Chain A
C-alpha cells in the first residue's frame, strides 16, 4: 500500500512553505520520525519527519519551490505492504503525481503556459508522445529558456519523465539537423525581451512585487470585470471642507476629500449588499458581509499596499481621518502589520491624489468591487439650465459582474454621488 503524505499545517494557520532541502529521494528507506525535508514557513524553519515506515516512491517539488499546505510532499511505499501489482500501481501513482506537480506550478506562478513551439521543426516528432510531458518545473523552465517544446522531448526518467539532459540533448540534436523552415521560425526564442547589447538594470523580484503580480493576474482571470464611470459635483463638499478643516487641524488631523468619500462609501454599502459580497462557488453560496472594512490602496515606496480601515460605517469622520492618516503613514514607513491589511470587504484607490482622473481599477479579489477616486477639477456644468463653473470629482468603479448586476452598481454609484454632492447627509447619518 502507498501512503501519500500531505504537507501539514505545522504552525497554527500556515498556508504554504518553501522547500529548503530534501533529505530523501525516490528509493530512500525511511522510518517514522526520520527527516524527509526541511521546510521554511512563516513561523518556523523545520524538518518534516516521516509519518510512516517505508520507501519513498515519489517526492514533489524542488528546493526553492513553494508547497501549499494540504498538497503532497512524498508518496511512501509502506513497509511490508508491497503490492504484487507493483507495476500497475506505480503507473497510477505517477499519473496522480503529474497532476500534483501541475498544481504546484499554478501556485508558484507561470509554468502552466505551454512552452513555445517556435524554433522546433514539426518533422522532428517521430513517435506519438503524451500531450503533457512529465517534468519538474526546473526542467520546464530550462525548456522554455532554450526554446524547446517539452512535450516533444522523449523523457529518459521514470515513466518517461523528461530530465534536464533530455532537453539539452534534444536542443543539440535539432541544431545539428538543419531543417527547411521560414526565417521567422528559425529565430531563436529568447526568454528575456531586451537587447543584449544595451544597458539594463536587473533587480530581484521582491516578495511584495511577486504578491502584487500574483493577485492582479488572479483577479483578472477570475473576476468578470465591469467598470462604470461618473462624476460628482462637489462644490458643496469643497465649501464644507474649507469650513471645517481648521477645526480638524486644531486637533492635529488633516482632513481630505478621501475621508468624506470613505464615509460615503461605507454608508452606501449598507444599502447595496452585493457590492460588499463575496462568491463561494465551491459551496454555491453568496456571502453578504454585514461589516464594512474598507481597503485603501496606498502608493508606498516599496509598491502597492492596501491597509484596511475597519468598521468605516460606524466611526466618525474624525476617526476616519485619523485612522486613515495613521494607516497611510505606517504604509509609507513599511510598518503595517498583517492585521492592518487583513479583512477588507471593499477597496478604494485614490489616484486623484496624484492627478489621475479615470481608470479601470483591478478588483481586490475576492471582493466584489473597487472604487477609484479621480482628481477634483473645475469644468463647466449645467445648473438650472445655465452653464456655470462646477467642481467635479471623477469616479470609476470596477465590479465583479458575476456578483454585482449593472443596475445595482449604477444605483450604488448614484447613492455615493448623492452623499458627495450633499455632504451634510454624511454628518447626519452614522
Chain B
C-alpha cells in the first residue's frame, strides 16, 4: 500500500466520497458492523462534547479551549483499533481518542478549568498528557518507541501533531531519530489547513506533509482525514508496519478545523465562509452517517436519540465536574521548581490578589 500511494505520487488516499458512497472498494477495510457503529457513536459523542465545551466557555464556565470540531475521524480511527498497551501521545485535538483510551470527559473538563489533575487521565494507561506546546511531545514519542523496541514489546506509539507543528525543530529531530532507529511510532499529522491563522501554503515549502517522509526515510501516506474508512485503513497498515519491527510511519491526515483555533480566536479574520461551506460538505461525521444509513445500519431516529443522549450525558458530567472541582492555588506553581523563582513568586502573589478580588465581586 505504501508503494501504491507513495507520497511522490501526491495522491490523496480516499475510500468514500462526500456522500458516503464507497469509491475505492479495493482498499475497503475489514471492519465489523458493531465496531463501526461503536466508532460512529463515539464520534458523535466527542462532537457533542466539543461543541458544548465551546458553549460552556462562552458562558464563562470553563477557560480557553481548542475545539476539534471537524477533525474527529482522524483520532477515532486510532481509537477503535489500538491495543490496550499501545501508547498515545496527544497534541490537543484528539478528544475521541482520550475517551477511548479510558479517560473521562471530566478529566478534559478539569484540565481546561485550570485543574492540572485533569492532565493525569484518571483511568487511562499509557497516554501522555495533552501537549499545549507545539510538537514538544514528538521526541517523547520517539523515546517511548525506543523503550518498546528495547524491551521487545510489540506495541505501537501513536503520536499526534498539527500541520503547524511540522515547521518546528522538534518535529524534525523526532522524525530523524524515529527513522534511523526504526522505532514503532506512527506519526499522525492533522493537517487542518491552518497553523492558528497561518495557511498551509505559507508555512512549508512542500506541497504535502507526507512527502517529508521520503527525506527522513520512512513510509508516508496522504489520507483524507475526513474519510473514516481511509483513515482506518491507513492506521491499520501503519500499525502493522510499526508493530512488525519495520519502523515508523508518517501519516498526513488532510482535514479541516471547522471551529476556531481556540475560543480566543476569530477564524473569520483569516478565512472565508465559502471555504467553510466547502469543507462542511466533506465533514467526517456527516459522511460516515450517510454510509451507515445507506447500508441500513443506522436511522435518522436513532441518530436524533443518540445526539440527545450524548448532550444529556455531557451536561451531567460537566455539572458534576463543576461541583467537584477543587484545586489549590499552590498547585499551579508548585511542580516545576523546588524553590520558586522571584518572578513566579510575584505572579503567584498577583494571582492570589486577583482571585480575592474576583471573590469579592461575586
Give residues in A with beta carbon < 8 Å to B: 5-12, 32-33, 43-51, 70, 282-283
Contact A11 B59 (CB under 8 A): no
Q: Enumerate 21 A-B pairs (CB-CB under 8 Å) in ascending A order.
A: A5-B59, A6-B60, A8-B58, A8-B61, A9-B60, A10-B57, A10-B263, A11-B264, A33-B55, A43-B266, A44-B263, A44-B264, A44-B265, A45-B266, A48-B58, A48-B59, A49-B58, A51-B59, A51-B60, A51-B61, A282-B357
A9 contacts across to B, CB distance below 8 A: 60
Q: How far is the CB of B171 from chain A (nearest CB, A)?
A: 26
Quote the shortest CB–CB distance from B136 to chain A (angstroms). 21
| Top 7 A-B pairs, shortest CB-CB distance | A8-B60, A51-B59, A44-B266, A49-B55, A11-B264, A33-B55, A12-B264
Query: What distance in Å separates the Cβ of A342 from its nearest Cβ neighbour in chain B?
Result: 15
Question: Could you tell me if A49 and B266 are in contact, using CB atoms closer than 8 angstroms?
Answer: no
B270 part of interface (Cβ distance < 8 Å): no
The answer, yes or no, to whether B52 is at the interface (CB within 8 Å) is yes
Interface residues contributed by chain B, number (CB under 8 Å): 18
* Chain A positions within 8 Å of B57 at CB level: 10
- Nearest CB in chain B to that of A34: its residue: B55
- In the complex, what residues of B have CB within 8 A of residue A7's CB? 60
Q: Which of B49-108 contact A (CB under 8 A)?
A: 52, 55, 57-61, 64
List the interface of chain B (C-beta within 8 A of A).
52, 55, 57-61, 64, 260, 263-266, 268, 315, 353, 357, 361
A49/B59 in contact, CB under 8 A:
yes
Q: Output the nearest chain A residue to B360 by Cβ-Cβ distance.
A: A282
> Can you name 12 extra interface pairs (CB under 8 A) apart from A10-B264, A43-B264, A49-B59?
A7-B60, A10-B60, A10-B263, A12-B64, A12-B264, A43-B265, A44-B260, A44-B264, A49-B58, A51-B59, A282-B357, A283-B353
A226 to B58, CA, bound (A): 45
A10 touches B361 (CB 8 A): no
User: How far apart sit A46 and B60, CA to CA, in the bound complex (Å)?
Assistant: 13
Closest chain B residue to A48, Cβ basis:
B58
Pick from B59, B64, B265, B268: contact of A8, CB under 8 Å: B59
Enumerate chain A residues within 8 angstroms of B264, measured Cβ to Cβ: 10-12, 43-44
A183→B161 CA distance, assembly (Å): 79
Given contacts A12-B264, A33-B52, A70-B361, contact A47 B58 (CB under 8 A): yes
Q: Contact at A50–B59, with CB atoms within 8 Å?
A: yes
CB distance from B65 to the nearest CB of A (A): 11
B59 and chain A: residue at smallest CB distance: A51
Instruction: Identify the closest chain B residue to A33 (Cβ).
Output: B55
CA distance A33 to B64 in the complex (A): 17
Residues of chain B contacted by A5 (CB below 8 angstroms): 59
On chain B, the residues within 8 Å of A51 by CB distance are 59-61
Query: Quick one: given A33-B52, A44-B260, A70-B361, are A10 and B58 in contact (CB under 8 Å)?
Result: yes
Residues in A whose Cβ lies below 8 Å from that of B315: 32
Of residues A6, A11, A50, A70, which shows the largest number of chain B Cβ atoms within 10 Å of its Cβ?
A: A11
Minimum C-beta distance from B53 to chain A (A):
11
A392 nearest CB across to chain B (Å) = 43
